[in-house]
């Protein structure tokens, strides 16, 4: 992958941020997707408790992402990025030494807080470095780099015996440590003007006031705009299926399935590979159709993938189900952003997208519901039950979409690239 255009090469710091996306996703993919395996095998926790620990991290991630980007304007992007990387490293080390549900919950929460801060601040810094006409293409480089890491990580971790073991957390900490050192060196050589820092006391007071006003404004918007409220609910239901599919698969495959951890590694790699390979084809499909149609097709593919997981009993069946599931994911994410973009007033666009982050609560509901269903009725019921959330989300989009003018047009180019979600 060459990070250049017909104009000038990308700044060194931008290249480091893109390469760092691959390093971080590689480290994450040998640890986070297998956290459920670790909690089940090493700590012998019940499925419901595992679902709660994994799913609850989304609340910390939402809070950190919502506030972290704004704080970077006061504290400086560079400072906040480095602090968040230290937080991730410390969290991985803490998970390695954890011996109970309480300590795992604490360090999983600090991991979500640290990662939640890094994501928006890193994108803000990347935007600071580039003119507007180059940002979309550069963000696509970062998205591809992230999925390359997720494609390679699970298979590599499984092959060397890291999957589901304590050592994986130390390896993840090492990966983040290497990135931290590289990023720190480059930032030291980067002029302060490119890091988005503003250090005046007046700016700080104004900033914290604007953060509080932004939070209150988002809450008012959710209460007043019924279309947005229902779209958030529909997005929440879809996120309940897509947001932590790795934890559902991990719990199912780690208990009662021969070579389950090995299968999990290949299935997770299939998810990332499918996103990378089929993204162009999915974008062409989306360009020619309105967002509700894209979400409907994507939601039905998601349900079909979950049915596939429910009946699968071999590696290739799980892989095939994941291909179908991942294609649905690719169709859904850009269309969701397109709908929010079209209903948002020009002077409240940020608040609307900020309010949409609350759909990530589905990342908590999915694993929790899945863990309870798995413990009570087994894996097939878990996949079918959680998969029904996607069907309900599609129904809401179909009903609400009729009341939103302008949805007959296809998805605009500027929102075609989906954002990566922690799988």
pLDDT value, residue 367: 85
416, 336 Cβ separation under 8 angstroms: no
Cα(179)–Cα(21) distance, integer angstroms: 9
Task: Specify the pTM.
Answer: 0.66
Which pair of structure tokens corresponds to residue 324? 């179908």
Cα(216)–Cα(352) distance, integer angstroms: 12
- Cβ-proximal residues to 180 (8 Å cutoff; 6+ apart), any chain: 82, 85, 86, 89
pLDDT value, residue 126: 77
For the chain, domain boundaries: 11-199, 224-423
pLDDT value, residue 421: 44
286, 334 Cβ separation under 8 angstroms: yes
Select from 77, 79, 179 the least CA-distant residue to 123.
Answer: 77
Q: Is the dihedral of CA 52, 58, 61, 67 positive or negative?
A: negative
Q: Which fold has domain 224-423?
A: Growth Hormone; Chain: A; (1.20.1250)
Q: CA–CA distance from 172 to each of 247, 254, 281 (Å)?
A: 18, 21, 33
334, 411 Cβ separation under 8 angstroms: yes
Describe the chain by its helix, strand, coil percentages, rounded to 5: 80, 0, 20
Which pair of structure tokens corresponds to residue 6? 């017909």
Dihedral of CA atoms 258, 263, 264, 268 in degrees, nearest 10, equals -170
306, 384 Cβ separation under 8 angstroms: yes
Q: What are residue 318's phi and psi, to 5 degrees?
A: -65, -40
Per CATH, 11-199 and 224-423 having the same topology is answered yes
Report whether CATH 1.20.1250.20 matches the domain 11-199.
yes
DSSP 86-128: HHHHHHHHHHHH--SHHHHHHHHHHHHHHHHHHHHHHHHHHHH
pLDDT value, residue 407: 57
Which pair of structure tokens corresponds to residue 54? 């994994």
**Residues of the chain whose pLDDT is less than 50?**
1-6, 193-194, 196-206, 411-422
């Amino acid at each position: 992958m060459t990070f250049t255009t017909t104009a000038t090469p990308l700044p060194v710091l931008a290249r480091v941020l893109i390469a760092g996306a691959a390093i971080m996703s590689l480290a994450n993919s040998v640890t986070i997707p297998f956290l459920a395996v670790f909690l089940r095998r090493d700590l012998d926790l019940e499925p419901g408790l595992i679902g709660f620990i994994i799913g609850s991290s989304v609340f910390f991630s939402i809070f950190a992402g919502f506030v972290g980007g704004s704080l970077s304007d006061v504290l400086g992007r560079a400072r906040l990025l480095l602090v968040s990387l230290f937080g991730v490293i410390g969290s991985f080390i803490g998970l390695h030494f954890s011996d109970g549900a309480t300590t795992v919950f604490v360090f999983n929460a600090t991991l979500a807080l640290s990662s939640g801060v890094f994501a928006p601040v890193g994108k803000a810094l990347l935007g600071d470095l580039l003119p507007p006409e180059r940002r979309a293409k550069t963000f696509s480089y970062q998205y591809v780099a992230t999925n390359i890491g997720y494609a390679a990580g699970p298979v590599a971790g499984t092959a060397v015996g890291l999957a589901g073991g304590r050592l994986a957390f130390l390896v993840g900490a090492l990966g983040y440590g290497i990135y931290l050192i590289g990023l720190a060196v480059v930032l030291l050589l980067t002029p302060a003007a490119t890091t988005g820092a503003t250090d005046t006391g007046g700016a700080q007071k104004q900033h914290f006031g604007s953060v509080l006003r932004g939070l209150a404004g988002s809450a008012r918007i959710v209460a007043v705009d019924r279309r947005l409220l229902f779209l958030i609910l529909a997005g929440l239901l879809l996120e309940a299926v897509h947001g932590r599919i790795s934890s559902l698969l991990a719990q199912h495959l780690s208990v009662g399935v021969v070579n389950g951890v090995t299968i999990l590694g290949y299935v997770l790699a299939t998810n990332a590979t499918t996103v990378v390979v089929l993204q162009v084809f999915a974008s062409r499909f989306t360009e020619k159709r309105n967002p509700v149609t894209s979400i409907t097709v994507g939601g039905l593919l998601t349900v079909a993938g979950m049915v596939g997981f429910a009946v699968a009993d071999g590696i290739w069946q799980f892989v095939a189900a994941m291909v179908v599931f991942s294609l649905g994911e690719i169709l859904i994410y850009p269309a969701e952003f397109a709908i929010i973009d079209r209903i948002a007033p020009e002077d409240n666009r940020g608040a609307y997208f900020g309010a949409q982050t609350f759909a990530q609560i589905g990342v908590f509901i999915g694993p929790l519901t899945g863990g309870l269903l798995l413990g009570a009725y087994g894996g097939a019921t878990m996949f079918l039950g959680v998969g029904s959330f996607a069907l309900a989300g599609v129904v809401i989009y179909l009903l609400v979409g009729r009341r939103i003018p302008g949805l007959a047009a296809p998805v605009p180019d500027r929102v075609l690239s989906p954002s990566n979600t922690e799988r």
